[in-house]
Amino acid sequence: MSDPRDSFDTVSDRWERGRVLGLAPDAAAAKAAGGVAAAASWSGTGCDDGAVWGECRGSGATPYRTCADLAEPAFHCTCPSRKFPCKHALALLLLWSEGAVGPGPRPGWAAEWMERRRDRGRAAPAAPAAPAARARDPKTAERRERRVEDGLADLDRWLRDQVAHGLAQAEKASYRLWDDAARRLVDAQAAGLSGPVRGLASVPRRPGWPGRLLEEYAMLRLLVRAYQRRGELPPELRDTVRARIGFTVAQEEVLSAGERVRDRWTVTGSRDSAQDQLTTRRVWLRGRRTARPALVLSFAAPGAASGGRLDASLAVGTEVDAELAFYPGAQPLRALVADRYGPAEEGTPEGTGIGGFLAEHAAALARDPWLDGWPATLAAVRLGRDEGGDLYAVDGSGDALPLRLTDPWRLLAVAGGGPVTLSGEWGAGGLRPLTAWQADEGPVVL
């Protein structure tokens, strides 16, 4: 007689530890998961070919019920954490990956959650081959254009006043100086500029701030002037300017008319950030054949992250055969996953030297001068410090990039003095590391 467990997965089919930790929204969640991934903390665990489940003892009288749908993947947990996936979901998957969760029938609560997910999938109508964008009212669009023009004219006057009155006042200015200007932009329906304007408040607190603040003022005025003269711009640059101002493009329009690129996309990094009552997940990918970068965004309102609105299907350290649809622009970077061809697999990205990365970034900046972040995947870099003690990534040619880290110890422990593949976001303050790979080991979320 055959063993009924033969229909369930085997340990060899389970994910590696690195793939599980690649799902972590940040290093803190990955570390916390390690502390919960003890069999003594769990009861009622089980798995089959589509899900893993269990109950974790918490601080309250009722254990947290946790379940993971392995197909997407997707997660459910009754804990109050706003991180997605939470430490309990990660810990459960760690136990499963190590073979500490045995197969069995789904309990009622896990089966009910999985069925609700399947029902939502069946209820969702299939997307048409060429979805049509919703028709826009020309009068409404015209009114918004006028409001944006008035708002940018006001911003232009504000910028000139800041320079005319001298930069020294910014060092003692209250946050209200920047917040009032940002609020006026929101009222003018140019909300895309409100975040950068609010961000100016932190510049006077940094070393060498006068030059940096003047540079930020100049880039904002360049954007204002570009919008005012948008009729003279090439179509791709005009799309970039409108996106920076805050004009959005519907997903249906991107899927139907956006540039499509099929490749094997390696997920190199992920970062969650909260601003203006919204959590944003930024997932970076790099094409193995095209060496092209891509950014996939997902969003969640407060308290919704645990409900599964943030996309967890692109795990760091995996590679997926997919076709991406890119948003229009002079330097297309943001994309949607249009089609997938098969499940995700473990994958380590192919990095470049620092010189090659800087050349790539310079070319992108020439196409879009308002880029505020660019993905880096550096191969075989070691960590070093300058005379002031600041940490750098150094490649075999001796080229170096400054690293922007609040806590360097995790990265130092991973590197152990040896070479690593390092991915992160390059910006004005240096490289913010997101993920590191050492030799043939899995990814470590930083």
pLDDT digits (tens, 9 = 90+) for 57-67: 988 889 999 99
**Taking residues 104-120, what's their average pLDDT?**
89
Q: What is the pLDDT of residue 2?
A: 34
* Predicted confidence (pLDDT) per residue in 92-110, tens digit: 999 999 999 999 999 999 9
Q: Amino acid identity, residue 404?
A: R
* pLDDT, tens digit, 9 for 90 and up, residues 224-245: 999 999 999 999 999 999 999 9
Average pLDDT over residues 269-274: 87
Residue 348 has, within 13 A of its CA and on its CB side, a CA count of 18
Q: What is the mean pLDDT of residues 320-349?
A: 93
Q: What would the pLDDT profile of 124-165 be if each residue is shown by its tens digit?
A: 444 444 344 455 678 888 899 999 999 999 999 999 999 999
Confidence label for 4 from pLDDT (cuts 50, 70 and 90): very low
| Euclidean distance between CA atoms 418 and 396, whole angstroms | 12
Cα–Cα–Cα angle for 23, 26, 30, nearest 5°?
65
| Residues in Cβ contact with 340 at an 8 Å cutoff, skipping those fewer than 6 apart | 320, 321, 322, 323
Q: Which of 197, 162, 192, 193 is nearest to 179 (CA)?
A: 197
- Name which of 417, 418, 384 is nearest 399 in CA terms: 384
pLDDT, position 372 = 85
Report which of residues 358 and 116 the model is more confident about. 358
Among 58-67, 71-80, 268-277, 301-310, the minimum mean pLDDT is found in 301-310
**Cα separation of 382 and 354, whole Å?**
12
Average pLDDT over residues 343-369: 93
Nearest residue to 184 (alpha-carbon basis) of 202, 158, 213, 222: 158
Q: Is the pLDDT of residue 23 over 90?
A: no
Where residue 7 falls among pLDDT bands split at 50, 70, 90?
A: very low
How many angstroms separate the CA atoms of 81 and 58, rounded? 12
Letter for the amino acid at 42?
Answer: W
Residue type present at position 387 = E
267's tokens? 């997920």
- Write down the pLDDT at residue 276: 64
Give the chain's mean pLDDT: 87
User: Contact, 203 vs 220, CB < 8 A?
Assistant: no
Residue 268 pLDDT exceeds 70: yes
Quick one: average pLDDT of 337-345?
A: 91
Q: What is the mean pLDDT of residues 297-305?
A: 69
Note the pLDDT tens digit of each residue in 38-96.
999 999 999 998 899 999 998 888 999 999 998 878 899 999 887 888 999 999 999 99
Looking at residue 127, its pLDDT comes to 41
Distance in angstroms (rounded) separating the CA atoms of residues 67 and 62: 16
Do 85 and 99 touch, CB atoms closer than 8 A?
no
Residues composing the chain: 446
The pLDDT tens digits for 172-214 are 888 899 999 999 999 999 999 999 999 999 898 888 899 999 9
